[in-house]
Amino acid sequence: MTGTSTATGPRTSPTTSGVGQSAGRPDARQKVTGEFAYSSDLWLDGMIWGATLRSPHPRAVIDGLDIGAALRLPGCHAVLTHDDVPGRKVYGLEHADQPVLASDQVRYQGEPVAIVAADHPETARRALGKIKVSYTELEPLTDARAALETAAPRVHDGGNVVRHVKIRKGDPAAVAELVVSGEYQVGMQDQAFLGPESGLAVPAEDGGVDLFVATQWLHADRTQVAACLGLPEDMVRITLAGVGGAFGAREDLSMQVHACLLALRTGKPVKMVYSREESFFGHVHRHPATLHYEHGAAADGKLIYVRADIVLDGGAYASSSTAVAANAATLGIGPYEVPNVRLDCRAVYTNNPPCGAMRGFGAVQACFAYESQMDKLAAGLGLDPVELRVRNAMHEGSVMPTGQVVDSAAPVAELLRRVSGRPLPPAAAGTDRDIRGLPGGVSNTTHGEGVVRGIGYGIGIKNVCFSEGFDDYSTARVRLHLIGGEPAADVHTAAAEVGQGLVTLQGQIARTELGVEQVRVVPADTSIGSGGSSSASRQSYMTGGAVRAACEQVREQILERGRGLFPGHEDLSVSGGKLVSARDGALAALADLLAEPAEATVTWRHRGTSPLDPQTGQGDAHVQYAFAAHRAVVDVDTELGLVKVIELACAQDVGRAMNPQAVEGQIHGGTAQGLGLALMEEIQVTGGKVRNPSFTDYLIPTILDMPPMKLDVLELADPHAPYGLRGVGEPPTISSTPAIVAAIRAATGLALTRVPVRPEHITGTGPERDA
């Protein structure tokens, strides 16, 4: 089936854990008992261990490579280099530009140069130490804006611009009564999932390989792995292993090709597990960004124009930079109506770590800048920041700067009213407060003196699903059969459960559509068609849509059987495990119609999108827009620059809360990652080298950093989407960052143009930024 479905309610009676209910996770029991097998837990008798030698230099020529001593190490089974890659030597999600193993040069610190397999992880590490690589170091290109200069060294032969997206709308020479401008910077954030990269590759008798791995997109992995191995795709079979979080970091390959190469070379199962330190070098990060904005507004606050120039540091390889640039550009003015827009967004190559997908990709960076600008504009006009946003709020029917009409709910003003209308947490004052609730906490840095409260707001916009004409689809097979005489449904997709709850949702949909209680979600693997990526907030929409469509076909098969058995009944439905006639009630047990199983496999697509015009950025590029707003309340120790977030309120439209508990969980978790970007999370890169590849030095929010949350979940159905749902995962990550920074500004009066905000930015005692 191809095409779209309209949003209609379930046509069977809801079960106790169907769509719209907080059904429990089917994997929860295994996860709380410790039985759930994460990719790092896999074990096969006779397996050996892989390890990766990585470049210590951000830019260097490889003059020579001596693997002899490593090969002679007892217990070492294989040492492989670039020459041992039998197929395509490079891979990449959008451009195949990243070497499986470096050949003549390295372009970033941490680039894989050689791989080994050995009988023990420690033997493997010793073998790595015996590989001799001669490098001639070159001056790395580490400034993204310098990379644009014609004299800059070229990271790749095609030049340093991965993509330049231009948005042109209205009058380029528009003038306005009030103009505010600013330059903003976003640091390099890490996804910091808790379960490091890992997997197990098992050589197969047919000369192929079976790979068990934690990933976000099984089929994209398979396509790339097979090409690099020089094997047909059907000889590379990938099964999803337990995933310890993803957030974009598992969309690109990490150890997949390496483990398969070693398994095929040695004829043994090969396991690879990254340490936390290696994980920081083993996946892409959020693009650091420099964003220059100019906003022009009338005296009443109505926006007249936005001009922006955004430079995204893509690092050494393209990864998903093209999509990140498109998001930053097309969503770059935020959820506002602006008649005149001129925006340029460039993603560039440098010798910094490669950057790509992370929750909210592209939209996160832009939102920090445009929301900072809105606050600056409000201050300039003497307007309340919420009021200014409401006056410019986009709504259903608004036109994006791309010319695309927003054709479903866009409750921007309502979301702002929801968060701003909430009661505030009690004001705290005085110097006799419980220190645990103060900035600095039990470090006992203040008893309340110097502490100032601030309140700030942020709202963001995100596209859902893949855009710009990408052939985006998901595949689902549903089989209704009898288990012990009772009807039960099997649901099979290749869509990756990464923690978000997709396995729960698939079961809910099957229960609702087929009126059965027993549903088994079959492990995701490549024996079925692609489910697409677990990214871009797309799986509820896409795999949800595919599972529903497959259920509809199965149901139709059952009804057809019913119409054959009960002629004259054209008004049949399945409900509560029975075949029901609207006129005569229950006619038969569903089980009686399932002597033969009913099965359907459906490839389901969202409605089509268009590419962006390369000169003007015009085009109906996106499938769906999603919105979330935050209000942050913070206490700032203005003397020490320490911040305590007191409360975060969030309002988000989810179209339909398919599983309210899971929706809330996504909003909580997304908000926390935005808090991290606002206050603490940054990969510190100096001269192309990562200075803090550990959780000792790269800080993510703890339970003490993350305050209690207040949520408003709106359900304004999108008529184009399955069940009316709207993607949930990314929007809360986007708006929490600017809301928190706005609150710090409100408390301190500082401009704060960079995230994460560091104590010295507040105290003025340190350098703004030492790149």
Partner 1 sequence: MTIVYDDEPDADEIPVRRIRFTINGAKKVAEVEPRLLLAHLIRQGLKLTGTHTGCDTTNCGACTVLVDGKPVKSCTMLAVQVDGHEITTVEGLATASELHPLQEGFKEEHGLQCGFCTPGMMLAAKALLDHNPDPTEEDVRWALSGNLCRCTGYQNIVKSVLWAAEKLRS
Residue selected from 87, 245, 339, 450 as contacting partner 1 according to rule CB under 8 A:
245
Cβ proximity to partner 1: between 252 and 664 the closer is 664
**Kind of pairing between the strands at 486-492 and 518-522:** parallel
Total residues in contact with partner 1, by rule CB under 8 A: 58
* Burial category of 439 from C-beta neighbours within 10 Å (exposed 0-12, middle 13-18, buried 19 and up): buried
Cβ proximity to partner 1: between 314 and 701 the closer is 701
Cβ proximity to partner 1: between 123 and 327 the closer is 123
Residue selected from 44, 61, 175, 194 as contacting partner 1 according to rule CB under 8 A:
194
Cβ proximity to partner 1: between 192 and 612 the closer is 192
**Kind of pairing between the strands at 48-54 and 270-273:** parallel
Cβ proximity to partner 1: between 277 and 387 the closer is 277
Count helices and strands in the chain by DSSP H and E runs: 15, 31
Q: How far is it, in rounded angstroms, from Cα 37 to Cα 224?
A: 25
Q: Which listed range, 105-113, 254-262, 572-580, 667-675, lies at the site for partner 1 (CB under 8 A)? A: 667-675
**Kind of pairing between the strands at 340-348 and 303-313:** parallel
CA angle in degrees (0–180, nearest 5) for 518-521-526? 155
Residue with tokens 């960079």: 754
CB 633 within 8 A of CB 482: no
Residue selected from 43, 430, 585, 767 as contacting partner 1 according to rule CB under 8 A:
43
Cβ proximity to partner 1: between 33 and 615 the closer is 33
Cβ proximity to partner 1: between 35 and 183 the closer is 35
Q: Does 33 bind partner 1 (CB under 8 A)?
A: yes
Q: Which listed range, 228-236, 238-246, 254-262, 593-601, lies at the site for partner 1 (CB under 8 A)? A: 238-246
Q: Residue 736 Cβ, how far from partner 1 at the closest point, in Å?
A: 10
Could you say which residues in the range 678-737 bind partner 1, by CB under 8 A? 694-696, 700-704, 706, 708-709
Q: Residue 75 Cβ, how far from partner 1 at the closest point, in Å?
A: 10
Cβ proximity to partner 1: between 334 and 729 the closer is 729
Tokens of 233: 């795709």
Residues 6+ apart with CB under 8 A from 159: none
Tokens of 585: 């009630």
Q: Which listed range, 189-197, 348-356, 514-522, 543-551, lies at the site for partner 1 (CB under 8 A)? A: 189-197
The DSSP secondary-structure symbol of 355 reads: B
Q: Residue 21 Cβ, how far from partner 1 at the closest point, in Å?
A: 13
Distances (CA, A) of 520 to 190, 504, 567: 34, 10, 32
CB 374 within 8 A of CB 416: no
Could you say which residues in the range 409-438 bind partner 1, by CB under 8 A? 436
What torsion, rounded to 10 degrees, do the Cα atoms 762, 767, 769, 771 define?
Answer: -160
Residue selected from 18, 58, 244, 454 as contacting partner 1 according to rule CB under 8 A:
244
Q: Which listed range, 192-200, 476-484, 585-593, 743-751, lies at the site for partner 1 (CB under 8 A)? A: 192-200
Q: Residue 45 Cβ, how far from partner 1 at the closest point, in Å?
A: 12
Q: Looking only at Cα atoms, what is the longest distance across the chain?
A: 84
Phi, psi of 216 (to 5 degrees): -105, -15
Cβ proximity to partner 1: between 39 and 753 the closer is 39
Q: How far is it, in rounded angstroms, from Cα 211 to Cα 370?
A: 43
Sketch the per residue contact string, 622 through 661, with partner 1: x for CB under 8 A, - otherwise. ---------------------------------------x
Q: Residue 151 Cβ, how far from partner 1 at the closest point, in Å?
A: 42
Could you say which residues in the range 475-514 bind partner 1, by CB under 8 A? 498-501
Cβ proximity to partner 1: between 338 and 496 the closer is 496
Q: Which listed range, 240-248, 414-422, 568-576, 581-589, lies at the site for partner 1 (CB under 8 A)? A: 240-248
Continuous segment of H or E residues that includes residue 625: strand 624-637
Residue ranges in 705-771 assigned as alpha helix (H): 731-748, 759-763
Sketch the per residue contact string, 433 through 472, with partner 1: x for CB under 8 A, - otherwise. ---x------------------------------------
Cβ proximity to partner 1: between 96 and 699 the closer is 699
Tokens of 612: 């962006």
Q: Count other Cβ atoms within 10 Å, centred on residue 437.
A: 14
Q: How far is it, in rounded angstroms, from Cα 333 to Cα 689?
A: 33
Pick from 195, 406, 331, 343: which is nearest to 731 by CA? 331
Cβ proximity to partner 1: between 247 and 370 the closer is 247
Cβ proximity to partner 1: between 109 and 659 the closer is 659
Q: Residue 702 Cβ, how far from partner 1 at the closest point, in Å?
A: 6
Cβ proximity to partner 1: between 115 and 672 the closer is 672
Cβ proximity to partner 1: between 32 and 751 the closer is 32
Residue selected from 159, 523, 576, 665 as contacting partner 1 according to rule CB under 8 A:
665
Residue ranges in 156-295 assigned as alpha helix (H): 218-229, 256-266, 276-282
Q: Which listed range, 216-224, 261-269, 511-519, 668-676, lies at the site for partner 1 (CB under 8 A)? A: 668-676
What torsion, rounded to 10 degrees, do the Cα atoms 111, 113, 119, 123 define?
Answer: -80
Residues 6+ apart with CB under 8 A from 441: 435, 644, 704
Q: Which residues pair with 713 in a beta bridge?
A: 652
Q: Residue 130 Cβ, how far from partner 1 at the closest point, in Å?
A: 17
Residue selected from 192, 253, 558, 721 as contacting partner 1 according to rule CB under 8 A:
192
Residues 6+ apart with CB under 8 A from 721: 7, 408, 541, 545, 624, 655
Q: Residue 191 Cβ, how far from partner 1 at the closest point, in Å?
A: 8
Q: How far is it, in rounded angstroms, from Cα 23 to Cα 657?
A: 12
Q: How far is it, in rounded angstroms, from Cα 479 to Cα 558?
A: 11
Residue with tokens 């709850």: 501
Residue selected from 81, 673, 748, 753 as contacting partner 1 according to rule CB under 8 A:
673
Tokens of 340: 């005149």
Could you say which residues in the range 85-144 bind partner 1, by CB under 8 A? none
Q: Count other Cβ atoms within 10 Å, centred on residue 679.
A: 25
What torsion, rounded to 10 degrees, do the Cα atoms 603, 607, 613, 617 define?
Answer: -120
Half-sphere exposure for 384 (CA within 13 Å, toward CB): 8
Residue with tokens 């001639």: 136
Cβ proximity to partner 1: between 315 and 670 the closer is 670
Which of left, alpha, beta for 194 (phi over 0: left; psi -120 to 50: alpha)?
A: alpha
Q: Residue 370 Cβ, how far from partner 1 at the closest point, in Å?
A: 24
Q: Which listed range, 35-43, 89-97, 179-187, 365-373, lies at the site for partner 1 (CB under 8 A)? A: 35-43
Length of the chain: 771
CB 653 within 8 A of CB 624: no
Sketch the per residue contact string, 254 through 293, with partner 1: x for CB under 8 A, - otherwise. ---------------------xxx----------------
Q: Residue 602 Cβ, how far from partner 1 at the closest point, in Å?
A: 27
Q: Residue 209 Cβ, how far from partner 1 at the closest point, in Å?
A: 23
Sketch the per residue contact string, 9 through 28, with partner 1: x for CB under 8 A, - otherwise. -------------x-xx-xx
List of residues contacting partner 1 (CB under 8 A): 22, 24-25, 27-29, 31-38, 40-41, 43, 191-196, 243-247, 275-277, 436, 498-501, 661-662, 664-665, 667-673, 694-696, 700-704, 706, 708-709
